[in-house]
Amino acid sequence: MKFIISSSLLLKQLQAIGGVLTTNNTLPILDNFLFELKEKELSITASDLETTMTARINLDMAEENGSVAIPAKILLDTLKTFSDVPVSFTVDMSDYSVLMTIGEGKYRLAGQNGDEYPRAVPIEEPSKINISSEILGDAISKTIFAASTDDLRPVMSGIYCELNKDNITFVATDAHKLVRYRRHDIKAEEEAAFILPKKPLNQIKNIIVQDDEMVTIEYSNTNARFSFKNITMTCRLIEGKYPNYMAVIPEVNPNKMIIDRVQFANSIRRISLFSNQSTYQVKFKIAGSELLLSAEDVDYSNEAQERLTCHYEGSDLEIGFNSKFVIEMLNNIDSDQVKVEMSEPNKAGLIVPVDTESKGEDILMLVMPVMLNN
């Protein structure tokens, strides 16, 4: 088995799929990339058993079909030291040793039998939907930060996808904050709902961020497969029933504040430096067209406050929020102004964009209040 490939092209593809690899694998062979040569198409696969990613590359020069598992770390570290040069791979199929020839250098690696590498689970009779990579990247970026990091509640550690004939919805929550991202310009032929894990979604987000290609998502009850350009990713869905997120979104919010998003975020960021570093509590005191932001850390005698002008409708209100959550939300909204909807100091507040550039986008962010210490 022999082939020649550009070092920069190979490195780019390995880095695209290499994020799937983990350091504490149960199977030692998963510390490798699987290289499969068929005619003049090279397929490279990385897997952690839960998620499998494959990149396909068409080659100009290749001889003899075959497959071999090549150690990932040393291969990546070696390729990073070269600029764009041709790399010749020669694999001895009797002992799976790999000889890399780069310029005047020769580098030998101990490979393994590619037939022993675990394969992605085939998805039988999948349903499918096409979505532009730009929209999918947006949906992941604007929701994934709200997903839970608690391993004891696995259903909340992923993103819930709801496909309807009118729209598609992505939801993430950790019980303190919730984001619902809905697109009215994408419709599914049949209704479905499933929970996608965070790790593969981060992988996709990092790869497709620059492209405006179509991504095909195929799914069954247990697995999903994403296909775009020359890359395919198969992942196992999270099992379990997602909490009823609609039940926690308050419908009646008589107190509404519209404010400049950037100015609001910068003020909260500054004020939070003076807050208690375990609760990050910032107090909102809203009256008339004025918002008073304040925070204090009694242990260190730190305190700060800032006044901002806003457009406010409703009765005077004092409410506390975790500033970290609010800043994350404001950073993931594109519009110049945001609307903050509230009802009472002990009920969740909603943050929504006032003017979205995309007509099909409907995004709602919910943050639970922090009890004020009066």
For residue 165, the domain's CATH number is 3.10.150.10
Q: In the predicted model, is pLDDT for residue 148 greater than 70? A: yes
Structural domain ending residue among the three candidates 116, 146, 176: 116
Q: What average pLDDT does range 90-103 have in this prediction?
A: 96
Could you tell me if residue 133 is inside a domain? yes
Grouping H, G, I as helix, E, B as strand and the rest as coil, residue 132 is strand
Q: What is the average pLDDT across 344-370? A: 90
Claim to verify: residue 31 and residue 107 sit in the same structural domain:
yes
- Spell out the residues 6+ positions from residue 349 whose beta carbon is closer than 8 angstroms to its own: 319, 321, 340, 341, 342, 366, 367, 369
Compute the mean pLDDT over every residue in the chain, rounded to the nearest whole number: 94
pLDDT at 301: 92
Give percent of the chain above pLDDT 70: 98
Please tell me the distance from the alpha carbon of residue 312 to that of residue 115, in angstroms, as a whole number.
Answer: 65
> What is the mean pLDDT of the segment spanning 144-167?
94
Mean pLDDT value of segment 97-126: 94
Do 39 and 146 lie in a common domain? no
> Does the residue 373 lie in any domain?
no
Query: Do residues 223 and 259 both lie within one domain?
Result: no
pLDDT at 212: 72
Number of other CB atoms surrounding residue 161 within 10 Å: 23
Residue where one domain finishes, among candidates 97, 116, 135: 116
List the domain range (segments joined by +) for residue 104: 2-116
Question: Is the confidence at residue 145, as pLDDT, over 90?
Answer: yes
Instruction: Tell me how far apart the terminal alpha carbons of the chain are, to the nearest angstrom.
Output: 74
Residue 345 has pLDDT above 90, yes or no: yes
Residue 372's pLDDT is what? Answer: 79
For the stretch 191-225, what's the b/e string if a residue is b when 16 or more beta carbons lie within 10 angstroms of its beta carbon? ebebbbbbbbbebbbebbeeeeeebebbbbeebbb
- Residue 122 located in a structural domain: no
Q: Give the least confident one: 12-21, 137-146, 254-263, 358-367.
A: 358-367
Asked whether the predicted pLDDT for residue 357 surpasses 70, the reply is: no
Instruction: Please check whether residues 260 and 352 belong to one and the same domain.
Output: yes
The verdict on residue 94 lying in a domain is: yes
Q: Give a yes or no: residue 121 inside a domain.
A: no
Model confidence at 26, in pLDDT bands (50, 70, 90)?
A: confident
pTM above 0.75, yes or no: yes
Examine residue 149 and state whether it is found in any structural domain, yes or no: yes
Confidence of residue 294 (pLDDT cuts 50, 70, 90): very high
Same domain assignment for residues 362 and 324: yes
Residue 340 — very low, low, confident or very high, per pLDDT cuts 50/70/90?
Answer: very high
Give strand pairing partners of 255.
342
pLDDT bucket at 374, cuts 50 / 70 / 90: low
Checking phi first, is residue 165 left (phi over 0); if not, alpha (psi -120 to 50) or beta?
Answer: alpha
H or E, element range at 372: none
pLDDT at site 170: 97
- Look at residue 38 and tell me if it is in a domain: yes
What's the mean pLDDT in 166-182? 96
pLDDT of residue 317 exceeding 60, the answer is yes
Place of tokens 């709200």: 146
Please report the pLDDT score of residue 237 as a whole number.
96
Token pair 């598609």 is found at 168
Whether residues 131 and 242 share a domain: the answer is yes
Rounded mean pLDDT, 32-41: 96
- 172 and 191 co-located in one domain: yes
Residue 43 lies in a domain: yes
Q: What is the pLDDT of residue 23?
A: 87
Based on the domain organization, do 303 and 281 belong to the same domain?
Answer: yes
> What pLDDT does 207 receive?
87
* % of the chain exceeding 90 in pLDDT: 88
Same domain, 253 and 359: yes
Q: Which of 187, 218, 246 is the last residue of a domain?
A: 246
Residue 352 and residue 309 share a domain:
yes
pLDDT in tens, 198-211: 999 999 998 886 66
With cut-offs at 50, 70 and 90, classify the pLDDT of residue 152. confident
Q: Does residue 261 sit in the same domain as residue 165? A: no
Q: What is the mean pLDDT of residues 205-219?
A: 84
Q: What is the mean pLDDT of residues 111-137?
A: 93
Is the domain of 241 the same as that of 254? no
Asked if the model's pLDDT at residue 236 lies above 70, the reply is: yes
Average pLDDT over residues 162-175: 95
* Number of domain units in the chain: 3
d(Cα 231, Cα 374) in Å, to the nearest integer?
55
